[in-house]
Structure 1
Amino acid sequence: MLRWCSTLSLFLSLLLVAVPAQSEDGDGTLSQLRSDLSQGQLDVLLQRQDIVRLPASTLKPWIQPQPIDRFAITGFNENDHRFAARVRLHFPDGNISFLRLEGTPAKPYTVTDWYDYSSGLRLTALLEERRWLQSEDGKAFLSELGESPDGPSVATLAEGRPAALKLWLTQCLGNPCERIAAAHQLESEQPMIWLLRRAIASGDTDQYRQQHAALLAALGDDAYLWWLEGQYALEYQQCSWLVSPLRDAWRRHQDVLALADVALQCSLSHMPEQTAFGVALTQQLSVDTIMDSVAAFFAAHNRPVPESWHQWALTYSLPILPADQE
């Protein structure tokens, strides 16, 4: 999810105010982007956007602090006229967001478009609705979206306007109104994580394969995309058909402990007594660490650890003696 605490007010300010961008010395575009993200706030990126330019003094009243725990730039390309960056953001509460930024390289660089893979919101698409958003209906839509996002008038006012509907969905992700907003979205060929989550929740394997393939093409074989899928598989009890791909993904990303953990949890959910994946994990983790995760999983489900895991731990914890001491 694009984690803006006051999405409505932010976009209203972006669309109605324009001031010149400020200049500053900087390094290469990639170095500048890393430096901006290292400050731990999303509004630093928004200050670079060139769709409608705003200084920090204008942005500050509209955006509450958005702490970024850590980040990864998972893709970057640049020529003399443009750059594109793929960014993964990790937040302190454990949530993850994927963004695609496009812009113009300079000192400083400017962002000319911003795509949120969580909801499918693109800033330039919303900008195309600028005239409507300043109309009476547009203002009413923004007002209702802020005050009653689950009200019937929101859908009526935004009907037929994909960008406005995406703004509604972005505002509602993770909230009770998400179900209503999702039901009114128009078809789109863009990859979206909320569609992936919906497919996993419903067990719609065809839609899952479609969104999964589109997101892999857009984001690459990102370990944390697989981690998200594992979280959804656990949440919606779909490990029976996702556990094998999760295990395979871990084998390609053995340095990502979070993926190892979610793959193990999914294995335990699907086949609680089977210890084979525990054997594979010993390539990376100690038996004690694996058993801590196993014990935590069963404790969370108010179930005892199966005897097969106790026997496994005992077997794999035994020291291997030299042949002349056996």
Structure 2
Amino acid sequence: MKITSLAPIFGACLLAAATFAQATETTVIKIGDHDVPVVKGGLYDRFRSNPPLSVIAAESPGTDLSWFKGIAKEKVDIGFESYSPNFYYENSRVTAIFTADLARLRELMPPEVLEQVQPLQVWPGRGVVALTAYAYHYCDNDRYNEIGLSVVTNKPGSSSWGPFSLMGQSFSDDFWGYVLKLPVDTELAEVRGVVGYNLPKWLTRIDYNEDENNVVVKIFDSETQALDVTLQTRKLDVSSSKENRVTTRFTNIDQQGQLTTGYSTSRQLRHASTSSADAVKLTLTDGSLSRFIESLKLGKMVKYEYVPNFQAALYAPKPLKP
């Protein structure tokens, strides 16, 4: 893993081009108290998170929907009427897991959350964070990109055994965390995430691109529109990978101040991982997200995951019982 810092030099032309508005016709709908533009005629405009699988099969005939057929949706009130779980049919992601300053991680978590979960200590003074770039190519919320920065924690109500807890979560493919940052590049994803899932989302430009050998993700500062963070990762050989299931869970606080927990289950169709530091290059600038990441004092990269094809079901949060 290589981390470099660059002072951004942008002219007027680049600033003018730095826009995340897509040349797509939109319509405005109501989500809670928010007026939200969505793709006119898109999945969310037509079905509000509950499209029939027959529609998905007709619009994306190459997508394997067998897994979703075994999952029942239910109507929920999460600050607005929706359905749980939310389905993600065609997606890609890359994840880099680093050690970080344990004291800083604890400082960033609310006291109420710390009463239930703690950052995992992999060795004295060091915790673990996961930086993930998601590209949701086709899902109930239309197409969007997302960046997740999360603290890896123990399971609520269980003892924290540091690296042994981390190994246990890895072996079971069942991970717990606290989400620190979660920028997205559509207003629909932003409002649904903040209002319905109590997540720290904001709207900004995110470019998720691939070439023959790499995945290059660029995150822009929402205020200055300047390039903020670049995550470049190497594509790995996934030809021999087998399908597996991964569950990721989070603990946070809802808008009423209550502890909640939510989770997603992923069906990873193609995937590979490595601990080679050369597989990941993280470039930081003086942007707001870069400064936040620098405050974590990232250290050794523990693991890199390349998942070019996965499906997911995201469940609505529920109150966390102590």
Mark yes or no: TM-score above 0.5.
no
TM-score range, shorter chain: under 0.3
Greater Cα radius of gyration, structure 1 or 2: 1
TM-score normalised according to structure 1 size = 0.23
**Per residue, is there more helix in 1 or in 2?**
1
TM-score normalised according to structure 2 size = 0.23
